[in-house]
Structure 1
Amino acid sequence: MRFLKLRVLALLQKGLSARQLRRLALLDLLRGQAVGQTVSSQLSERLIALAHLVPVAALKRLGSRTDGLASDAAEAKRERTGPNEVEHEKPMPWSTHLWLCYRNPFNVLLTVLALISAATDDMKATVVIATMVGISTVLRFVQEKRSNSAADRLKAMVSNTATVLRDGVRLELPIRDLVPGDIVQLSAGDMIPADLRVLAAKDLFVSQAALTGESLPVEKFADQPDPAERNPLALANLCFMGTNVVSGSATALVIGTGNRTYFGALAEKVTAQDRAPTQFQAGVNKVSWVLIRFMFVMAPLVLFINGFTKGDWTEAALFALSIAVGLTPEMLPMIVTSTLAKGAVVLSRKQVIVKRLDAIQNFGAMDILCTDKTGTLTQDRIALERHTDAWGERFDTVLDMAYLNSAYQTGLKNLLDVAVLEHAELQAEFDTDHGWEKVDEVPFDFVRRRMSVVVKQRDAQQLLICKGALEEVLAACTHVRHGDETLPLSAGLLTRIRDVAAGLNREGLRVVAVASKPVPLDVTNYGVADERELVLAGYIAFLDPPKESTAPALKALKAVGIDVKVLTGDNELVTLKVCREVGLTVNGVVLGDRIDAMSDLQLSVVAEAATVFAKLTPMHKERIVRLLRERGHVVGFMGDGINDAPALRAADIGISVDSAVDIAKEAADLILLEKSLMVLEQGVTEGRKTFANMLKYIKMTASSNFGNVFSVLVASAFIPFLPMLPMHLLVQNLLYDISQIAIPFDNVDDELLQKPQRWNPDELTRFMVCFGPISSIFDILTFVLMWKVFGANSPEHQTLFQSGWFVVGLLSQTLIVHMIRTRKIPFIQSRAAWPLLAMTAAIMAIGIFLPMGPLAGYFKLQALPLSYFPWLIGILLGYMVLTQLIKGIYARRYGWQ
């Protein structure tokens, strides 16, 4: 079990989503324990029994038939079995959610301090501290509840679907609607929607890495397995929820849904483990511990100085306790949640679904965006421009062959297939007049980069038609067709063929080669080995125009400091043409075969420098993204195909589109519902606003608290009474925290949106030390003012002294919000949003009202003479001017984050 915990920590530190974590961690559980220990023997036996039944018997066992369940029977089953969801994916109970909102280091610390106050009969302090904890917890709870509800509504818009047979009709149904007995049809890119018994399969390869850790896909068959095999995961005719189809096709029977799946039975063992923080949460935690360590140093100093100088250790302890409370940024979790939730709401209005709130901050921190080309930079509608022979001359037979190949393949039909099938005249010709029928197929995979179908026309000879990437198809060819002749492929012809294809590429056309050969009528089962001795027929060439939004989006991303890299499986010449059209400056081109020869260190250097990476496999993309992250970059990846899924998972922030394949949408953190890439720049801007507003609160709190404690240390050493009572400190801190609630809605200066923003705890310490003592200077001036001018220089007049400093302290703390929120001159060059202006004005008014109004006696304050207020205005103006001057010096030397 200790191994599992370490594995879970490692996975989370890679930035994986909770759902990905659950899947990847399940097998680690299996590795350390026998199958019988991890899932109930009853479930294992049921899976094994269904695997050993012939298809007809399996259908009968589940009350199904080959054309699927009747709709009314399926609905009745769903009422009994419930939705096809794992239980832990449902919303947590409100009580659990409330507890999680409370459980953060600051609230726990404040609770301990409240208990200490209660034990010492300081009930006022107990009430104030409890109020702080309550406000922080309830605000966070409400914000997260609203955010989660909004996110759930948005996620429902892109819920994954499965192809299901009901009443003999093919339907696309939400995965949650599946029931045992449903017949589903699978193809490349599909998520396995439930536990399945394969009824028929053709070259079906499934990635089970999430459950078994096997790096290579596993082939699945409909045949009955070895009776001696007792491990369900090793049975070749079973597929499991949470895995995905890499290639091939199948028809399968749903044998388990929801918690009655293998995944569902194991899930609670993983969710019982504590989760390690994500990269974003780790940054928040680092900053939090900087402040907590500061508190652990300063509070004891205050205790000992006051204890030795005043002699009243009980009063000194209460005062130190109040200092500890004042140094605790208890509103930080609420501010973080509020800013992220606001960012999610803003992006939802721009038709962006945020699947993971932390992704918003990663959006703002992103400094490299890696993107696929087809369907992301280019339009998701490709036009078939030409069909030529190997000499570049129009050749209709090539189009005929391409049409048959695309029409009869059962795998994932990509945009190229769609473009071919849109030729209506061919559809009429081949579907009605000539009686073509499919014999077999060899599905596409990303290693061969080609696929084949075998067709025949009535009783005529069978024909194997192969189409795919030029070099991969040429590797399987021995001859080339030229008119009515078939010529051997010589070195000279190969050079000419490649030159013709390169010419098409330079025109921006994407070239797919088409080849064929006759095959015997008596053979009906074909495989990869049959893709040999082919005759090259020619090319089909596609125009893949860029999206209208691509050029302005790339320009906008460059303007905000994001380096864009293109990672594509396509030809480098086509990719370079697209890059020129969209205005992307290319600093280097790297091909996939060169990547294979590089070490991680070599590739990481090249990956930083180059712009275009072409002819890549899915693992190449994942490796490049991973190495860029290891070099300290925050990397986004945008893609929509099955070949993009590994890179989407590896990136700090995975971005996909609603039209993407299931596995790509599952791996992504953000899903774009609109095709415009300008949403990317808007998302980056929103992420940076989110980060900037969080950082404002942290800087304000840290510097203000440091200044207050420094002032307290000075006052404690020289003044014969406490400069402020514990109650005063607690009330001041409570009011200050309330003024911060509006920070998530504040405006952000344009300069802060021009470059990526990242956590930097060291910068926070430097900022705190530079700006904290500024307030101490004016606090000490206030001490001198109260002592010398207003005669508050003895214990009998301490209430006047404390009232004077209470007002200056609260008003200067509140003004620091406006001073530090911007590098510019506040109120003139940069104005806060109206909610923050209104909140800080209200708190300042309350701060003056407390000593001047009827509640002064309750809080042990007293009314200040009117002559005090001109001095107050002078002190506050001096404080603002000095802070502005120091801001300029600090920004010139260290920058302004």
Structure 2
Amino acid sequence: MMARAATPGQDDMRACDPAEQHRAGQVLAVAWHALSASEAASRQVVETAIGLQTGDVGARRARYGENRLAEKPPRSKWLAFLDQFKSLLILVLIGAAALAGAIGDLKDAVVILAVVLFNAVLGFWQEHRAEATLAALKKMLSPVARVKRGGQVEELAAAQLVPGDLVMLEAGDRVPADGRLLACHSVEIDEAALTGESHPVAKDAERTVAAESPLAERVNMAYMNTVVTRGRAELLVTATGMATEMGRLSGMLAQAEAGPTPLQVQLDVLGRRLALIAGIVIALIFALGWARGEPLVQIVLTSIALAVAAIPEGLPAVVTVTLAIGMHRMAQHRAIVKKLAAVETLGCTTVICSDKTGTLTRGALRLDRVHTAPGTTEPEVLAWAAALEEGSEHPIARAVRAAAGDLPRPACASFRALPGRGVTATVTLAGKVLPARLGTAEHVGEVPAFDEPGATVIHLGIDGHWRGSLVLRDELRPEAPATVRALTAQGLAVEVLSGDSAAAVSQLSDRLPGIAATGSLAPEAKLERVQAAVAAGECPAMIGDGINDAPALSNAGVAITLESGTDLAREVSDVTILGGDLSRLPWLFDLGRQTLKTARRNLTWAFLYNGIGLCLAVSGYLHPLFGAVGMVASGLLVVLHSQRLARFPLPHGDLR
């Protein structure tokens, strides 16, 4: 199978001028995470108490450009319409119309051109409607940033940021650019979209890390498009636009090679065969006429007329109508398909590669089990832990409180949060005020060792003694197990490619039997796996929602994302599932196979009908009038056959 066509924006990335690349290289050359906060500010030549001055901003924007990722200008509607004619079969039909017009057969010429135009209009309209839906989703986001400039904090469009800007961040903000954290107050950032980590990372502006450290270990940095889940911070912008980590991943999309889908290959082969058949008909009729001594002009006209008749002009419309009906049926079930060809590729899929965090899982923690000390009960541990987490919006805190439910909780006071370690407080038990700690083993003190691979384990200590431990795991989507079972029952191999830890991904294999799972994968490794599947003759579908999934998505046979996915993931995907319900996946692949099967049946029927009719007409057994009526009837039968897809049953309920 071929890799799918490159997506909008890739040409611009590929054609990035040398000066632009040089500027980006200057920014990335510094290992900002290996510098202290003061050293980073000194390198950027900025006063942290004031920020950049207006003159500095203009000079830096002229040097580095706007804080935007490279995007290809929207394709004009005319070019999108002309793309519908880029098929050998369509060109053969246009040639047939030209020949018919040349010999004065205007009726056939008009009919053929009308069919070609209908095919182009239908394909253009279906794709334009899908792109408009996705564009509406994109417009819902309007990124802004609070920036300190000239001693004043102002709110600006994120695109106006330049290296050296000081950005104020707080819980709920999306990080607008890459940068070195100058100050942190209990800050945690959700980097799942970039690194695949399933829970937020505690940040520490005071630390420096080795220059060669991977992204997940750079606790003093924040990266574009990640989300602050807790605390407040001041960020020194060190890279913008294509020089950011997100920009680097966007640049990798240029590796996607354009290629036809399996059905497009078959149609091109068919087009070449039709051209060959037309040539043979012309040569044969010309030879017979010459042997009979017929006038040369009559021989030429007869040869061309029969050659035109030998070409079934309805074939492109047959395929387009079939795929359009399948595409519309998918849209009815809240799956937006960008291109008609993606409907067919869904039917050709042989292997599914999927991200873990946010795709098969919710990207949120859930209590798995509780370990208790002798003399302590599970409800007590839950109630005490929930009391210590009261008021916190940390994902661990929310998971603990949800697990505790309505259990009565003791009074707590003197709360103190220690990012990356846990919380301390005093708790009132049996009339006594006791010190309590909840968090890591180092924070709590001496705790038993538990073998919980891939889990987040927090420990509870009261009055210096361990009282229990809570085991939290990334919560599976409720429909994920049944969805995986249904996909494997369809004969599809399911592979999980995740940037999360190998232990967490390995544990997922136990919860989802039948999958092959690999963890600790960088975006490049995901891309290599998809490319290897294509090279091996497979047709891989890639399902992902993060920035780190985009290179693999852009190289897959068909790319699928969820409505909640990042802008970049939605941009490069062929199919967007609105609402994020994975239980639709088996139905989508099933409908894709049925659509492909219907299109092939229609092609076979139309081609055989034309061949039989042509033979009967040449031999004199079929009057041309009846032949024309038969052609119309054949077209109606094909359309009616395709309409069966409109009644393809929707799944009843879901697969949970």
What is the TM-score with the length of structure 2 in the denominator?
A: 0.63
1:149 correspondence with 2:129:
yes
1:632 correspondence with 2:537:
yes
Q: Deviations over 1:455-482 (max 9, x none)?
A: 7889xx9x99559xxxxxxxx9999525
Equivalent residue in structure 1 for 2:608, among 685, 703, 709: 703
Q: Is the 8 A contact 2:119 2:317 kept in 1?
A: yes
Q: 1:140 maps to which residue?
A: 120
Listed as ranges, the matches of 1:622-701 within 5 Å are 626-640=531-545, 648-649=553-554, 651-660=556-565, 664-666=569-571, 668-701=573-606
SS of the residue 2:456 aligns to: strand
Q: Note the C-alpha offset of 1:692.
A: 3.1
2:416 and 2:484 map into 1 onto residues whose CA distance is 47
Q: 2:7 maps to which residue?
A: 18
Matched AA of 1:318 = L
Q: 1:96 maps to which residue?
A: 79
Equivalent residue in structure 2 for 1:616, among 519, 527, 532: 519
1:431 and 1:664 map into 2 onto residues whose CA distance is 46
1:299 correspondence with 2:282:
yes
Q: Is the 8 A contact 2:179 2:221 kept in 1?
A: yes
Q: Is the 8 A contact 1:375 1:640 kept in 2?
A: yes
Q: Is the 8 A contact 1:192 1:239 kept in 2?
A: yes
Matched AA of 1:540 = V
SS of the residue 2:579 aligns to: coil
Distance 1:431 1:399, change over 3 A: closer
Structure 1 stretches lacking a partner, 5+ long: 1-11, 66-80, 169-175, 210-219, 224-236, 441-451, 468-475, 483-493, 503-509, 518-534, 580-585, 587-610, 716-779, 785-803, 822-829, 837-897
Distance 1:18 1:344, change over 3 A: same
Listed as ranges, the matches of 1:454-533 within 5 Å are 466=440, 480-482=446-448, 497-498=450-451, 501=452, 511-514=455-458
Matched AA of 2:478 = K
1:17 and 1:148 map into 2 onto residues whose CA distance is 17
Equivalent residue in structure 2 for 1:540, among 471, 477, 493: 471
Q: Note the C-alpha offset of 1:372.
A: 5.6
2:601 and 2:235 map into 1 onto residues whose CA distance is 56
Equivalent residue in structure 2 for 1:806, among 618, 624, 629: 624
Q: Is the 8 A contact 1:477 1:536 kept in 2?
A: no
2:558 and 2:375 map into 1 onto residues whose CA distance is 43
2:415 and 2:645 map into 1 onto residues whose CA distance is 72
Q: 1:388 maps to which residue?
A: 371
1:670 and 1:677 map into 2 onto residues whose CA distance is 13
1:147 and 1:111 map into 2 onto residues whose CA distance is 23
1:285 correspondence with 2:229:
no
Q: Note the C-alpha offset of 1:453.
A: 4.6
**Identity %, equivalent residues:** 19
Q: Note the C-alpha offset of 1:288.
A: 3.2
Equivalent residue in structure 2 for 1:312, among 282, 295, 304: 295
Equivalent residue in structure 2 for 1:54, among 46, 52, 73: 46
Q: Note the C-alpha offset of 1:696.
A: 3.6
Q: Is the 8 A contact 1:207 1:246 kept in 2?
A: no
Q: Is the 8 A contact 1:339 1:690 kept in 2?
A: yes
Listed as ranges, the matches of 1:360-375 within 5 Å are 360-371=343-354
1:283 and 1:192 map into 2 onto residues whose CA distance is 47
SS of the residue 2:603 aligns to: helix
SS of the residue 1:618 aligns to: coil
2:221 and 2:474 map into 1 onto residues whose CA distance is 41
2:142 and 2:135 map into 1 onto residues whose CA distance is 16
Q: Deviations over 1:717-774 (max 9, x none)?
A: xxxxxxxxxxxxxxxxxxxxxxxxxxxxxxxxxxxxxxxxxxxxxxxxxxxxxxxxxx
Matched AA of 1:570 = A
Distance 1:574 1:643, change over 3 A: same
Q: Deviations over 1:113-139 (max 9, x none)?
A: 555666x6x3444x6425522542354
Larger radius of gyration: 1
Q: Deviations over 1:833-884 (max 9, x none)?
A: 5999xxxxxxxxxxxxxxxxxxxxxxxxxxxxxxxxxxxxxxxxxxxxxxxx
Q: Is the 8 A contact 2:349 2:540 kept in 1?
A: yes
Listed as ranges, the matches of 1:813-824 within 5 Å are 813-814=631-632
Q: 2:333 maps to which residue?
A: 350
Q: Note the C-alpha offset of 1:18.
A: 0.3
Q: Note the C-alpha offset of 1:320.
A: 2.7
Equivalent residue in structure 1 for 2:342, among 331, 344, 359: 359
Q: 660-669 or 698-707, which moves further after superposition? A: 660-669
1:61 and 1:338 map into 2 onto residues whose CA distance is 59
1:658 and 1:431 map into 2 onto residues whose CA distance is 42
SS of the residue 2:537 aligns to: coil
Q: Is the 8 A contact 1:640 1:660 kept in 2?
A: yes
Distance 1:685 1:64, change over 3 A: farther
2:92 and 2:287 map into 1 onto residues whose CA distance is 21
Query: What is the count of residue pairs matched by the alignment?
Result: 575
SS of the residue 1:316 aligns to: helix
Q: Note the C-alpha offset of 1:287.
A: 3.9
Listed as ranges, the matches of 1:739-750 within 5 Å are none
1:372 and 1:398 map into 2 onto residues whose CA distance is 32
Matched AA of 2:284 = L
Q: Note the C-alpha offset of 1:360.
A: 1.8
Q: Which has the higher strand share?
A: 2
Q: Note the C-alpha offset of 1:805.
A: 2.0
Q: Is the 8 A contact 1:390 1:480 kept in 2?
A: no
Q: Is the 8 A contact 1:368 1:635 kept in 2?
A: yes
Q: Is the 8 A contact 1:657 1:671 kept in 2?
A: yes
What is the TM-score with the length of structure 1 in the denominator?
A: 0.49
Distance 1:639 1:304, change over 3 A: same
Q: 2:37 maps to which residue?
A: none
2:247 and 2:135 map into 1 onto residues whose CA distance is 22
Distance 1:831 1:820, change over 3 A: closer
2:526 and 2:565 map into 1 onto residues whose CA distance is 17
Q: Note the C-alpha offset of 1:346.
A: 2.2
1:419 correspondence with 2:403:
no
SS of the residue 1:88 aligns to: coil
2:611 and 2:538 map into 1 onto residues whose CA distance is 32
Q: Note the C-alpha offset of 1:680.
A: 1.9
Distance 1:820 1:572, change over 3 A: same
1:431 and 1:305 map into 2 onto residues whose CA distance is 104
Matched AA of 1:303 = F
Q: Is the 8 A contact 1:639 1:655 kept in 2?
A: yes
Matched AA of 2:133 = R
Q: Note the C-alpha offset of 1:100.
A: 3.0
1:83 and 1:338 map into 2 onto residues whose CA distance is 43
Q: Deviations over 1:328-363 (max 9, x none)?
A: 455544444444343333222212222444322222
Q: 1:593 maps to which residue?
A: none
Matched AA of 2:3 = K
Q: Is the 8 A contact 1:204 1:221 kept in 2?
A: no
Structure 2 stretches lacking a partner, 5+ long: 30-40, 58-64, 149-155, 195-202, 207-219, 427-434, 647-656
Q: Note the C-alpha offset of 1:435.
A: 4.4
Matched AA of 2:515 = V
SS of the residue 2:504 aligns to: coil
1:454 and 1:379 map into 2 onto residues whose CA distance is 23
Q: Is the 8 A contact 1:190 1:661 kept in 2?
A: no
2:305 and 2:158 map into 1 onto residues whose CA distance is 58
Q: Deviations over 1:295-351 (max 9, x none)?
A: 344433333333333533322223332334334455544444444343333222212
Q: Is the 8 A contact 2:261 2:345 kept in 1?
A: no
